[in-house]
Structures are given as C-alpha cells and as structure tokens.
Structure 1
Amino acid sequence: MKQNILFDLDDTLIYCNKYFNLVQDQFVDLMTDWFAPFGIGRGAIMDKHSELDIAGVQSFGFKSDHFPQSFVDTYDYFSRLTGRAASQDERLRLWRLGNSVYDHEVEPYPFMEETLLTLAAEGHRLHLYTGGDAIIQRRKIERMNLERFFEDRIYVRMHKNTDAMKDILKQGRFDEDRTWMIGNSLRTDVLPALECGIRAIYLKRDQEWAYNLLNIETPSSSAMLTLTELNEVPPAIQQHIALLKPPGL
C-alpha cells in the first residue's frame, strides 16, 4: 500500500506568496506616490495589477519575467489613463523591483523536514512537481537540499495544469489508485489531480493568491482532503490506507 506522493513546492513546502506580497506592497506605495495627485488610489492600483498579473500567468505560464512585466504594464495603463508622462527610468525602476522578489532567501514551512522524513521512512515514493522558471526553481530546491527526498523525481513546468499533470503521470506510469497531489493551489494542484483521477490534499494557506482560488466539486469525499499543516499529511495518508486494508490485516 505504498503511495506515490507528489508535492508542490511554492507555498506548500516553502514560503513564496509572502515575498510577492511584500514586493507588491512596495510597488503600490510607489505607484500611489506617482498617481494619487491624479485621483488614483491604492485599491484601483491593486485591482489593476492583480488583473494584469493573472492575465500574464494565464497567457505565458509561470515565466519569471511576467511578474516585473505586470508592474510595468500597470504603470503604463495608469500613465495612459491619467495623461501623466511615463519615463523609461520609472519603468526600469519597477522592473527591477519586480525582479527583486527572486532574491529573497528560501524559507521552509513548519514541519517540512519532519513530514518528508516521515513519509520517506514509511516507504512512500516522493515526487516534487513545481511551476516556474527552471533555473529559479532548481535554485530553491538546491538551497533546501530537497534532492535527498526526491532524487530524480523532480518535475518543473512553465504551465501547471491538467495537461502537464497527465503527461507526468503517463511518463512515470503512475498507479492512479495510489497517487496523491499535495499543494496549496486549487487551480494548479487540486483541480488537475482530480481531473486526472488521483487523490488531492489541499493545503489551505492564509492570504492565498487570487489566481489559486476557485470552486471545486469533488467526485467523492475521499478524493480531496483539506489540511492546514504539513505534519497533518502523513497521518491523513495512513488513515486512508488503513481504510483500504481488508479486516484482520
């Protein structure tokens, strides 16, 4: 009854959104200084940036330059709207600010180490499935020394969706009845897993990125679990396995 367990990386095993939120706040502060005299408030800037940021991900996937580009696109939008003169120096400043999000240290979520050690000790086969720029994601993996848990079972995709999940499952010849996807994104982790016929664990995080949220109808109560801490994962999987064992075993 050993399981294949695929883990998402960002905001599942390591912190990510909080750094994007920090840089976004700096962006909005700067934009407010520039555009408040033209009647543009923080809320309008936040809403437009969120719209353009999500549109960029939907079009281009998790390319590393889409986030700084969303800053520049938001700036250009309000420059046109208000008639405020745009400058290349200000665009470059915003681009550099957006890129600075990738300079933050890699920080594990509580119980990351203990959870992976426990699952590996129980004999489960661990996989890492993450979206983004391969160089940036590999750097995070190296800094956390995650290869010791996942070895060559690491998949980095620019677009993280059902097609990408199907491809991974097909190439690895996964047994769908014994495969799990664990992640914080309903859109890119949970929904693709359910559409591919494997089980999903939704790790619900505070202040989740709007792109990751959507309503999901699960085919059965056992297909998807909702947890809030990584150390809840091993007992949840063990409980599921126990329910599948014939009486007396």
Structure 2
Amino acid sequence: MFNKIKVIAFDADDTLWINETYFREAEEEFAKLISKYETKNKIDQELFKTEIKNLVHYGYGVKGFVLSMVECALELSNYKIPQKTIEKIINIGKDMLQKPVEVLEGVEEVLEHLQEKYKLIVATKGDLLDQERKLEKSNLLKYFHHIEVMSDKKEKDYTKLINHLDIQPSEFLMIGNSLKSDVLPLLEIGASAIHIPFHTTWIHEEVSKEEQQNADYATLTNIKEVLSLI
C-alpha cells in the first residue's frame, strides 16, 4: 500500500504535540469570564459560530481565536463588557502562545526511523509565528526537509503542495489526527493517509459517518504503530 511513498507529511497540532487541549481550557476560562451574560452552553455555541464566521478573515490559530472571543464577548454582553474583562480575554490568548510544547509519546522515535528512508515534511494549519515557535521549542526541526504552514487543508491546497514538492500524489503520505483535514482530502487526490485520532477534536474537524464510507485509510491508536505499517 505504501511502497511508492517518497514524502511523508505530518500534521503538527495534536499529531506531533498537544494543542487542542489548550483551546478547550481557554474556552472554559472564557465562559467563566462572561458567565454573567449567558449560560455556558450558549457561550460555547456562540463562540464556535463566531470562530467559523471569522475563519475567512483570520484563518486558523490562536490570534484569530482571541479576536473571535472578544467579538463574541461584546455581542453577548450587548457591548457592555468591561475593558478589564477584554484585557483578561486577550491575556488568555497570550498565555496560550506561551504554553510549553509537549511532544506526544513516540513522535521522535518515529521521525528518527523514517528520516533514513523518506523525505519528511510538516504540513499544518495555524498561525505562522506560533507554529514556528512550537517547532523550534519541540526540538523536532532537524527531522524535517520542509515546513508548510497552510491557510487551509483542502484538495487544492494539497495539490499545490505536492506540485511544489515535484512528486506524484501516489508518492505522498499524510499522517494526522483530523479526518477532515489530514485524511479525506488526500484520498480525493490519489495520495495516501494515516489517521491517528487525538482524544480531543475541534467540532469543526469532525466528519459524518457517510463522509467516511468507502474511504481507504489506516487508523492507528499510537504514532509508533506507523513503523510496523510502512
């Protein structure tokens, strides 16, 4: 199945290191800050709707998330939220950007083995500065030939990346935690994908069972299982 592979791409957040956990913690903190204006359930729903609406403007990452929190807080409070609370929301984002980079178990061992045979790259969404910071702190940069911070992960984005790498789709393997971003688009363009679920997934990245039907990909429980598969 993987005998033609020349390039292996890894998603970064929640594939190489922990990320989504910090967003869930930030959402909890945000809900507490503006709890006098709405129920937690309503706050969660409105924040998510605001994030999705703003993706076209801000893209993915912490900075866009903070701007969405501020906008959501203003709207839910009928623009009466104190300036001090806005400052606390901004500080939630600053704290997220200073979180330690916790590399997931087995990642470095896998990269060390695979780099001997394949060209390894990172293909991730998010804010460029933040992803560069995390890569630097992770001490994983030495394993990668190329880093691609993508504005989105749709078929056209992967096609552009594969063309840039000057390879065929059949020579490209993507490994990641999101079916929507790291698996299904690759299968559509004739590349390969391995799914390694993370225990927390952003609602926006979830897919229906119908979307998963007839999709030919491997699902692993741990990244170390990759070594026995390819």
TM-score by length of 2: 0.89
Q: Does 1:235 align with 2:228?
A: yes
Larger of the two Rg values belongs to structure:
1
| Structure 1 counterpart SS, 2:101 | coil
Map 1:1-249 → 2, pairs under 5 A: 1=3, 3-32=6-35, 34-35=36-37, 40-80=38-78, 85-121=80-116, 123-151=117-145, 153-215=146-208, 216-217=211-212, 223-237=216-230
What is the alpha-carbon distance in structure 2 between the residues aligned to residue 55 and residue 100 of structure 1?
24
Q: CA RMSD, aligned part only?
A: 1.9
| Structure 1 counterpart SS, 2:121 | strand
- 1:147 offset after TM fit, Å? 2.1
Contact 1:194 1:218 in 2 (8 A): no
Deviations 1:149-196 (A, max 9, x none): 113x11112233222211110111123223211111122211221222
What is the alpha-carbon distance in structure 2 between the residues aligned to residue 113 and residue 17 of structure 1?
20
What is the alpha-carbon distance in structure 2 between the residues aligned to residue 170 and residue 155 of structure 1?
13
- 1:112 offset after TM fit, Å? 0.6
How much identity, in percent, do the aligned residues show?
Answer: 28
Contact 2:126 2:151 in 1 (8 A): yes
Deviations 1:84-130 (A, max 9, x none): 72333322321222332111000001101111112123x12211111
Contact 1:112 1:230 in 2 (8 A): yes
What is the alpha-carbon distance in structure 1 between the residues aligned to residue 226 and residue 56 of structure 2?
30
Mind listing any 5+ residue stretches in structure 2 that lack a counterpart? none
Q: Which amino acid aligns with 1:46?
A: D
Q: Which amino acid aligns with 1:87?
A: P
What is the alpha-carbon distance in structure 1 between the residues aligned to residue 214 and residue 119 of structure 2?
25
- 1:218 offset after TM fit, Å? 5.4
TM-score by length of 1: 0.83
What is the alpha-carbon distance in structure 1 between the residues aligned to residue 7 and residue 57 of structure 2?
31
- 1:204 offset after TM fit, Å? 1.0
Runs of 4+ in 1 over 6 A off after TM superposition: none
What is the alpha-carbon distance in structure 1 between the residues aligned to residue 141 and residue 120 of structure 2?
10
| Structure 2 counterpart SS, 1:65 | helix
What is the alpha-carbon distance in structure 2 between the residues aligned to residue 217 and residue 59 of structure 1?
29
What is the alpha-carbon distance in structure 1 between the residues aligned to residue 88 and residue 100 of structure 2?
22
| Structure 1 counterpart SS, 2:77 | helix
Contact 1:68 1:99 in 2 (8 A): no
Contact 1:131 1:158 in 2 (8 A): yes
Q: Which amino acid aligns with 2:107?
A: M
What is the alpha-carbon distance in structure 2 between the residues aligned to residue 160 and residue 198 of structure 1?
14
